Amino acid sequence: YKQFYNKLESYIQDNMKKEMVEIQQNAVQNQTAVMIEIGTNLLNQTAEQTRKLTDVEAQVLNQTTRLELQLLEHSLSTNKLEKQILDQTSEINKLQDKNSLLEKKVLDMEDKHVVQLQSIKEEKDQLQVLVSKQNSVIEELERQLVTATANNSVLQKQQHDLMETVHNLLSLMSTSNSAKNSLGAKEEQIIFRDCAEVYKSGLTTNGVYTLTFPNSTEEIKAYCDMETSGGGWTVIQRREDGSVDFQRTWKEYKVGFGNPSGEYWLGNELVSQLTNQQRYVLRIHLRDWEGNEAYSLYEHFYLSSEELNYRIHLKGLTGTAGKISSISQPGNAFSTKDADNDKCICKCSQMLTGGWWFDACGPSNLNGMYYPQRQNTNKFNGIKWYYWKGSGYSLKATAMMIRPANF
C-alpha cells in the first residue's frame, strides 16, 4: 500500500507537473501574445509619432531655410543701404565743401558790393552837385533866351515895319511915276493876296508880310518863304518848338492862330478862298530829330468851303517823304475837338489832338502833340507822317506852304 501510494503520488505529481507545465506554457504564451500586441501597438504609435516628428522637423527645416533666405536678403539690403549712406555722406561732405566755398565767394562779393555802393554813392553825390550847377546854368540860359527872344521879336517887328515902309515908298513912287506917264493908267497894286505877289513886287526876303483876303479889305499876317525852290511860298502851317498849342476850336482853325514868325496856322478860310480862285500847289516840308529832311509836293491843291467842312483835294504827289500820300485820298473833311467830321466812330481830334483832315484817324497829323527829343517815339498822338517815319514817330519840325501853279 505504501508503495502504491507512493506510486500514485508519483503519478499524480507527474500528471500535475505536466498540466502545470502546460498551464504555465499557455499563460506564458498568452502573456507573450498580449505583450507582442502591446509592443506592436507601441511600435505603431512610435512609428506614427516618428512620422509626425519627421513632418514637424521638415516644416521646421523649411521655416528655418526661409528665415535664413530672408536674413540673407536683409543682409544684402543692409549692405546696399550702408553703401548708399556712405555715398550720401560723401556727397553731403562735397556739398558742404562747395557751400563753404560759395559762402566765401558771397562774402567776397558782399565786400566788393559795399565798395562799389560806396563808389556809386560818391558818384551820385558828385552828379547831384553837377545837376544843381547845370540847373542854375540852365535857369540863367533861360533868362538869357527870354531876353534874346524879346529882342528878336522887337528886331523882327522893326524889320517888318521897315519892309512895309520900303514897300509903301515903292508903291508911292510907282503911283507917282504912273501918274506922270499916263493919267489914265491904273494905280499900281499895293495889296498882296499871297506871297507870290509879294515876291513879284520885288520883296524877295523871307519874313512876315501882310496879306489881304480876296474881294475884301480884311488883312492877315503870314510868313513868306522866299528861298525854297524859287520862293513865293505862302506858309499856311509851321511847327518847330512846341511853343503854340494846336488843340484849338473850329473857329480858331478857320481864322488862324499862333505867331507868323514862329509856330502858327494861317486859317482855313483864307486858304479855301485863295485855292478856289486859281490853281495852287502844296509843298509839305518835314524834319526829323536825326537831322534828316524830306518833302511832299502836290501839283494841285484846294480846300472846299466851310459849308463842305473845308474838305481837302490833292492830286499829283512827288517828293522824298513817301511814294504814297500820308494825307488820305480821296480827301476828307476837316475836324477839330469841337467839330467831329472824320470817318471813325471815335473822335480822332480828341484822341490824336489838333485839327486835321482825319480819315479813320489816318496816317498823318501834322497838328498833333509836340514831343521833345528822346520822348518822340511810340507816340500815337504826335506829329505824324506815316509814309516817311511810321506811325509812332513824332517829327521835330514841319511846314505847309502853297504857291500858284503858274508861278
Q: pLDDT tier at 308 (50, 70, 90 boundaries)?
A: very high
Q: How far is CA 207 from CA 171, 212, 261, in A?
A: 19, 16, 7
Give the model confidence (pLDDT) of 252-279 as tens digits: 999 999 999 999 999 999 999 999 999 9
Q: Considering the domain boundaries, does residue 146 fall inside one? A: yes
User: Are 394 and 251 found together in one domain?
Assistant: yes
SS3 category, 278: coil
Domain holding 15, by residue range, is 1-160
Q: What is the DSSP string of 128-152?
A: HHHHHHHHHHHHHHHHHHHHHHHHH
Same domain, 299 and 361: yes
DSSP state of 183: T
Beta-bridge partners for 282? 298, 402
Taking the whole predicted model, whether its pTM rises above 0.75 is answered as no
Q: Which of 160, 181, 214 is the last residue of a domain?
A: 160
In a domain, 353, yes or no: yes
Which grid coordinates belong to 322? 513817301
Claim to verify: residue 15 and residue 155 sit in the same structural domain: yes
Burial of 156 (0-12, 13-18, 19+ CB in 10 A): middle
- Between the alpha carbon of residue 240 and those of residues 286, 289, 383, the distances in Å are 10, 11, 11
pLDDT value at residue 185: 37
Cα within 13 Å of Cα(301), Cβ side? 21
**Per the domain annotation, does 94 fall within a domain?**
yes
**3 state SS of 287:** strand
Residue 185 lies in a domain: no
- How far apart are the C-alpha atoms of 180 and 57, rounded to whole Å? 162
**CB-based contacts of 345, cutoff 8 Å, min separation 6:** none
CATH code at 303? 3.90.215.10
1 and 88 inside one domain: yes
> 228 with 150, same domain?
no
Comparing 164 with 278, the larger pLDDT belongs to: 278
All three cell numbers of 187: 494905280
List the Cα angle 258/264/269 in 5-degree steps: 95
Residue 174 falls within a domain, yes or no? no
Whole-number Å distance between alpha carbons of 313 and 321: 19
The grid coordinates of residue 256 equal: 488862324
Cβ contact 282:234 at 8 Å: no
End-to-end CA distance of the chain: 212
Domain count of the fold of the chain = 2
Q: Which residues pair with 294 in a beta bridge?
A: 286
Question: What per-residue confidence (pLDDT) applies to 187?
Answer: 39
Judge if 129 and 233 occupy the same domain. Answer: no
Residue 228 lies in a domain: yes
Q: How confident is the model at residue 388 (pLDDT cuts 50, 70, 90)?
A: very high
pLDDT the model gives residue 177: 56
Domain end among 140, 160, 180: 160
Which of residues 137, 160, 183 is at a domain's end? 160
Kindly state whether residues 291 and 340 are assigned to the same domain. yes
Q: Is residue 272 part of a domain?
A: yes
Residues 151 and 199 in one domain: no
Identify the residue with better confidence: 133 or 244.
Answer: 244
Q: Are 311 and 334 in contact (CB under 8 A)?
A: yes
* One domain, residues 150 and 204: no
Q: At residue 183, does pLDDT exceed 50? A: no
Beta-sheet pairing, 257-258 with 293-303: unpaired
- Do 155 and 205 share a domain, yes or no? no
Closest to 395 (Cα-Cα) out of 291, 314, 325? 291
Q: Answer for the pair 294, 319: CB distance below 8 angstroms, yes or no.
A: yes
User: In this structure, is residue 169 part of a structural domain?
Assistant: no
Q: Is residue 382 packed enough to be buried (19+ CB in 10 Å), middle (13-18) or exposed (0-12)?
A: buried
- The DSSP element (H or E) to which 316 belongs, if any, is strand 312-319
Range with lowest mean pLDDT among 108-117, 135-144, 272-281, 331-340: 135-144
Regarding whether 236 and 136 lie in a shared domain, the answer is no
Same-domain check for residues 153 and 199:
no
